[in-house]
């Protein structure tokens, strides 16, 4: 498949088959995805992969930290993301200079897109998620996220139970002004 075809065929996967995804293979794909452009080669990212029994242990460790009155609702939202065989957490080191912080965030977004396209090329499904709970101290603490780091995204990963068709997009011809 050409790069153009890969880009145009990639869709978010909402339902995953239960097939195991090798986390070492995900690391190999991340090792390619890190070739995203990033200002001054700061490479402001690191990754956490939740999968298999480790994912289950983490869930059982994290959920009891949630206030009991909020736990059921939080669990329902969390379990949608954790329904994927693997979840990759993209973590970024914050930069005290706002312009650099924005550039680092953009670099992380480029890296994530690289990762999604590599997964698509291998017929592995993905879904880029940014649920509000990733900003909570309890969630960050449960994953050992340092005070000078943020979670940029959770990416659900697994083989699709159903392959969806891409939704049409507005043409760049409609959205472009040339001076």
The per-residue pLDDT for range 152-161, each reduced to its tens digit, is 999 999 999 9
Does the pLDDT at position 164 exceed 90? no
Q: What is the mean pLDDT of residues 111-139?
A: 95
Q: What is the mean pLDDT of residues 40-50?
A: 96
Q: What is the mean pLDDT of residues 7-21?
A: 93
Convert the pLDDT of each residue in 28-41 to its tens digit: 999 999 999 999 99
Does the pLDDT at position 74 exceed 90? no
So what's the pLDDT on residue 10? 94
So what's the pLDDT on residue 1? 80
CATH class of the structural domain 3-175: alpha beta
So what's the pLDDT on residue 163? 82
Does the pLDDT at position 122 exceed 90? yes
Convert the pLDDT of each residue in 131-146 to its tens digit: 989 999 999 999 999 9
Identify the CA nearest to 15 among candidates 113, 85, 117: 85
So what's the pLDDT on residue 85? 97
Whole-model pTM: value is: 0.94
């Amino acid at each position: 498949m050409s790069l153009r075809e890969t880009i145009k065929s990639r869709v978010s996967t909402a339902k995953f088959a239960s097939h195991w995804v090798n986390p070492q293979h995900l690391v190999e794909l991340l090792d390619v995805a890190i070739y995203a452009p990033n200002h001054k080669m700061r490479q402001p990212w690191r990754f956490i992969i939740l999968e298999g029994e480790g994912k289950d242990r983490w869930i059982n460790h994290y959920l009891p930290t949630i206030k009991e009155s909020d736990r059921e609702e939080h669990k329902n939202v969390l379990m949608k993301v954790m329904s994927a065989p693997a979840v990759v957490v993209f973590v970024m080191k914050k930069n005290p200079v706002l312009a650099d912080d924005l550039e680092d965030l953009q670099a992380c977004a480029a890296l994530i897109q690289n990762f999604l396209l590599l997964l698509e090329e291998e017929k592995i499904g993905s879904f880029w998620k940014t649920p509000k709970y990733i900003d909570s101290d309890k969630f960050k603490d449960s994953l050992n996220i340092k005070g000078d780091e943020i979670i940029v995204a959770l990416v659900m990963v697994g083989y699709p139970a159903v392959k969806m068709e891409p939704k049409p997009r507005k043409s760049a011809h409609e959205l472009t002004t040339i001076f």
